[in-house]
Structure 1
């Protein structure tokens, strides 16, 4: 009888109880990473990217440019405050508005200067008028009265002393004087100011008083050494440039 060869009957049971891991059963242990390698922290979390550096540099350049721009603006505003009286406590909008009015007034005065000659005339001439343009430009909250007075007469050494004394008696303060002389004749244009805090000063009466005072100064009986020089001879004499005096 041929012998049957087969595996022992206990092998199946032993295989079922086998403790060796198989690829389909159990888990394999992974090797521990080396301690010298840096841990993985995710993309962009260990070193800053180049785009962030460029953004920071751009912001810093923009901040510095803005700072320089503000410094230039403040410097220009300080210059304007020095040009406009009583503007230390003004805000920027009010200051710019005052500067605009000042420029308009200067333009108006330039037009007036081009139409009104400062050459002295042969006859004595006195004119007095209120200067509302100066008051509106420089003194919005001012209670002063501003008057422009013009006098054309013979030139003499004591003329200015007499004019200053006449203005002092009327309690007037001289702000500016434009003067020109030619051939023994002189023309003076005064910008005068008087305090009127109570509003009791009558502008028309004040203008009339100034005109009377200037008429008296212009009509002083005095025969100058060149009284008989003709008009043509005066024009041929050297002409002195006009002067501008601020008091």
Structure 2
């Protein structure tokens, strides 16, 4: 087996393992590798005219992340029913259940869900966009991510040392 075939086999095996890991982690709150915002309907079962959505944001952790999320969600004037946070390495996943009262009982539920989901998705996407700087200014491209290796044997200055 040549090197190219071996490399192709290893890559396909890694992809298969990632897919299996993703399938086995369904139902668990585990951050994924990609930045994402998901908003989906959530049924609480209160029956009092509330509309609820479950929103999740997955991205790289940064120190101002939680305050940015709080500020963005507060701007929507929704009631937060549930919040969960999970971290793995430098990745973080935030899941929120948000509710809103229907203003007019004649509105169709699907229209109200779409409006609420669209608003939440837009606000959370803006937080995610703020967290993802452009690649040209990214610390990964401008600063090395590894420490510089120094060898003690490269330069020995014998003129300043006293014996």
In the alignment, is residue 219 of structure 1 matched against residue 129 of structure 2? yes
For residue 116 of structure 1, report the CA deviation from its aligned partner. 2.9
| Equivalence for 2:92 | 186
In the alignment, is residue 209 of structure 1 matched against residue 104 of structure 2? no
**Any conservation in 1 of the 2:84–2:94 contact (CA below 8 Å)?**
yes
Gaps of 5+ in 1: 1-112, 231-247
**Any conservation in 2 of the 1:154–1:218 contact (CA below 8 Å)?**
no
For residue 198 of structure 1, report the CA deviation from its aligned partner. 2.3
In the alignment, is residue 128 of structure 1 matched against residue 34 of structure 2? no
Using the size of structure 2 for normalisation, the TM-score is 0.59
| Equivalence for 2:53 | 147
The structure whose RCO (Cα within 8 Å, separation 6+) is larger is 2
Using the size of structure 1 for normalisation, the TM-score is 0.40
**Any conservation in 2 of the 1:147–1:191 contact (CA below 8 Å)?**
yes
Q: Relative to total residues, which structure has the larger helix share, 1 or 2?
A: 1
> What CA distance in whole angstroms lies between the structure 2 residues aligned with 1:218 and 1:228?
24
Pair 206,165 (structure 1): closer, same or farther in 2 beyond 3 Å: same
| Equivalence for 2:154 | none
**Any conservation in 1 of the 2:51–2:112 contact (CA below 8 Å)?**
no
Q: Relative to total residues, which structure has the larger strand share, 1 or 2?
A: 2
| Equivalence for 1:174 | 80
Quote the RMSD (CA, aligned, Å).
Answer: 2.8
Pair 229,180 (structure 1): closer, same or farther in 2 beyond 3 Å: farther
Pair 206,118 (structure 1): closer, same or farther in 2 beyond 3 Å: same
Pair 145,116 (structure 1): closer, same or farther in 2 beyond 3 Å: same
Larger radius of gyration: 1
**Any conservation in 2 of the 1:180–1:186 contact (CA below 8 Å)?**
yes
Gaps of 5+ in 2: 1-23, 147-163
> What CA distance in whole angstroms lies between the structure 2 residues aligned with 1:188 and 1:165?
14
The correspondence of residues 1-247 of structure 1 with structure 2, limited to 5 A, is 115-132=26-43, 134=44, 136=45, 139-140=46-47, 142-199=48-105, 200=107, 202-220=112-130, 221-222=132-133, 223=138
Query: Runs (4+) of structure 1 moved beyond 3 Å?
Result: 221-225, 227-230
**Any conservation in 1 of the 2:102–2:112 contact (CA below 8 Å)?**
no
